[in-house]
Amino acid sequence: MAQPALFIAHGSPTLAIGNDDYIDFLRQLGQKTLKRPRAVVIFSAHWDSSVQLLTEDETHATIHDYYGFPEEMYSIRYPAPGQPELSKEIGALFGSCNLPFRPVSGRGLDHGAWVVLRAMFPDADIPVVELSVDSKRSPSEQYAIGKMLAGLRDEDVLVIGSGGLVHNLRLLDREGAAPASWAVLFDDWIGEQLGKWNLRSLFEYEKKAPHVREAVPSYATEHFAPLFYAMGAADHDRKALKLYQGYEYGSLSLNCWRFGSLE
């Protein structure tokens, strides 16, 4: 059975030290629900580049790319191995599709990648290749790049897009209010289109989705982009299943969608 592709919201960096329903869900997902993959390929919202980049390290450092958080968050390490052979295979796939790319050594995993993976695979023993996103590309181009990697799922590689569907830091409610109605309406609209695999509407979400300016502000489109990369990796079977939907700080959505094989 092929591995699915996943879109996973990484929420606030404090997810790294949290112990709530979403953390419990991610632990269950990685350790019980999914078949253990031989490797993970993860597109992170926190690596935005006009050139497609990918890691090629033997072992990853842990990047603490956030500021003003509890001190304990800066001592966390997630020393997952890399897999240079898989990086080369991905590069060959990009090359065969005429996509310019560049392997990168020594960067490490940013928190968009390691926070999610640490919850799912806490032993840090599954090889990881991190890939950049390009928030300036159109959704259809982002989807096409994900599609280039669809065959990896048949090789027991789990493809993940890590970001956030509703990600507007300027509209957060630090008091922990109930979910904002506009955020729920946006997420529900996206969910309806995903359920129908309605690419036409999804590719035009900036014009069609309700409350899109609040949900995906111009300064945070990189957090929405991983959705399309993950979807593209499941283009061959085009099935979507919502696994989780929740919120923190009123409007920061915590969504997880499974694409492809739904068993």
Report pLDDT digits (tens) over 27-43.
999 999 999 999 999 99
Tokens of 226: 């991983």
Whole-angstrom Cα distance, residue 202 to residue 195? 11
Distances (CA, A) of 223 to 57, 84, 121, 189: 24, 26, 22, 17
Structural domain span for residue 40:
5-259
Predicted pLDDT at 263: 61
Predicted pLDDT at 62: 98
Q: What is the CATH number of the domain that holds 190?
A: 3.40.830.10
Count of structural domains, the chain:
1
Report pLDDT digits (tens) over 56-107.
999 999 999 999 999 999 999 999 999 999 999 999 999 999 999 999 999 9
Low-confidence ranges of the chain (pLDDT < 50): none
